[in-house]
Amino acid sequence: MTDPSFASLTTLRVGGTPAAAYECLSAEQLAETVAKLDRDRDPLLIVGGGSNLLVADGDLALSAVLVRNEGISLVDDLRLRVQAGTEWDQVVASAVEHGLGGIEALSGIPGSAGATPVQNVGAYGSEISDVLTRVRLYNRETGADEWVSAESLDLAYRYSNLKFTSRAVVLEIELQLEATDLSIPLRHLGGERVPLAQARESVLGTRRAKGMVLDVADHDTWSAGSFFTNPVVPTAVADEIEAKVGEDRMPRFAAGDGQEKLSAAWLIERAGCPRGFPGEDAPARLSTKHTLALTNRGKARAADIADLARRVQDQVREAFGVELHPEPVWVGL
Ligand SMILES: Cc1cc2nc3c(=O)[nH]c(=O)nc-3n(C[C@H](O)[C@H](O)[C@H](O)COP(=O)(O)OP(=O)(O)OC[C@H]3O[C@@H](n4cnc5c(N)ncnc54)[C@H](O)[C@@H]3O)c2cc1C
């Protein structure tokens, strides 16, 4: 590999150099590499497409294990088995091309198939948990290479019990799709169902307008996607915020047990952090298309991204008393 630095391995394009980098081209090689590093007590970081990672600058005392096993196969007419290192959007494109529905709303999400269960990726009202049946894991605690059910991962909003724990490595995933001409109801089209290929194009178009499809030439996409999860707060707190801001329609959605989910992007803007914040000269800025994405304008370092994240968190806390939690995984910061 010519440049194993995290600046070249992640979509934020920041971060220092790992002690070593191992490219794993098969599921077995991936499991064996992790097993060996664990036996030797060498700290490691599993890296797929690097699109949900913020890694510290400088020389890092960890090895990067690169998930590069690729391939999509059919288990039966409706079930896909996908190697963890396969680019996720290729999986969606292939399913759509073959008239298999269920993941079209997840078009354009960067990164690897193996990372999709890690934070239960989702977009436009759809989540990988809707179609994920089982996952082949290398269990780092027991050393077992085993298929486990999707239910055993505790999948929830941008969460699974794999995220932040590093307890296991996803080697392959299995998806149950549907033979159909029409998409699932698409939230951004008011619940309408449209032909699969049209659904994919529509989602990609909407995502592009927000800088949510990777494009080397567009600094608004040098990001980790949405940087904060949408906060869940008691209804009374949501009422207070709505009254304080005094706008007619604050986005708020029932989240059970007297709780409501608010829009992090909306709160960030109302807390005085508009698009492009903090301004032209800053190396790290909010995207000019979407307040929820923190972006590298070309010369940012990991520390700049982390500083901006903390500044946004502080302003939202001061304005509304709400704590924003980062969605990407932070390493060494
Ligand atoms: C422009 C843009 C738009 C995005 N839009 C969305 C969106 O709409 N919805 C959404 O949910 N996310 C979105 N994301 C976030 C990101 O793309 C997803 O979280 C994606 O699944 C991360 O995949 P990755 O392979 O890049 O993971 P990485 O960034 O490489 O890794 C993320 C975490 O998962 C772990 N990991 C990776 N692979 C494995 C594996 N095989 N086994 C175990 N652990 C593993 C890593 O160690 C790390 O902790 C977006 C990101 C960007 C840059």
226 is catalytic: yes
Phi, psi of 144 (to 5 degrees): -80, 145
- Determine the pLDDT at residue 125: 86
Instruction: For 6-67, give the CATH class.
Output: alpha beta
pLDDT digits (tens, 9 = 90+) for 178-219: 999 999 999 899 999 999 999 999 999 999 999 999 999 999
Q: Where do the CATH 3.90.78.10 domains begin and end in the chain?
A: 219-331
Q: How far is CA 201 from CA 96, 105, 110, 194, 261, in A?
A: 11, 10, 16, 11, 28
311 is catalytic: no
Query: Which tokens sit at 153?
Result: 């991962």
Confirm if 68 and 62 have CB atoms less than 8 A apart.
Answer: no
CA of residue 1 relative to chain centroid, distance: 25
Q: Identify the CA nearest to 92 among candidates 106, 78, 82, 81.
A: 106
CATH code of the region 219-331: 3.90.78.10
Nearest C-alpha to atom 44 of ligand 1 is from which residue?
169
pLDDT digits (tens, 9 = 90+) for 311-320: 999 999 999 9
- Determine the pLDDT at residue 248: 85
CA 328 to ligand 1 centroid distance, Å:
8
The per-residue pLDDT string of the chain (333 residues; one tens digit each, 9 = 90 and over) reads 667 899 999 999 999 999 999 999 999 999 999 999 999 999 999 999 999 999 999 999 999 999 999 999 999 999 999 999 999 999 999 999 999 999 999 999 999 999 999 999 999 989 999 999 999 999 999 999 999 999 999 999 999 999 999 999 999 999 999 999 999 999 899 999 999 999 999 999 999 999 999 999 999 999 999 999 999 999 999 999 999 999 988 999 999 999 999 999 999 999 999 999 999 999 999 999 999 999 999 999 999 999 999 999 999 999 999 999 999 999 999
Confirm if 57 and 302 have CB atoms less than 8 A apart.
Answer: yes
Determine if ligand 1 sits within 6 Å of the CB of residue 33. no
Which residues, listed in sequence order, are joined to residue 234 by a DSSP beta bridge? 259
Residue 236 CB burial class (10 angstroms; 0-12, 13-18, ≥19): exposed
Residue 318 CB burial class (10 angstroms; 0-12, 13-18, ≥19): exposed
* 8-state DSSP, 159: B
Q: Where do the CATH 3.30.465.10 domains begin and end in the chain?
A: 72-209
Determine if ligand 1 sits within 6 Å of the CB of residue 56. no
Determine if ligand 1 sits within 6 Å of the CB of residue 54. no
Q: Cα–Cα distance between 247 and 309 in angstroms, integer?
A: 26
Phi, psi of 284 (to 5 degrees): -120, 130
- Determine the pLDDT at residue 1: 67
* 8-state DSSP, 328: S
State the number of CA atoms in the 13 A half-sphere of 154 facing the CB: 6
24, 109, 206, 295, best to mutate for ligand 1 pocket (most atoms within 8 Å of CB): 109
Determine if ligand 1 sits within 6 Å of the CB of residue 67. yes
Atom of ligand 1 nearest to the CA of 163: 49
CATH code of the region 72-209: 3.30.465.10
Q: Where do the CATH 3.30.43.10 domains begin and end in the chain?
A: 6-67
Q: Cα–Cα distance between 179 and 99 in angstroms, integer?
A: 6
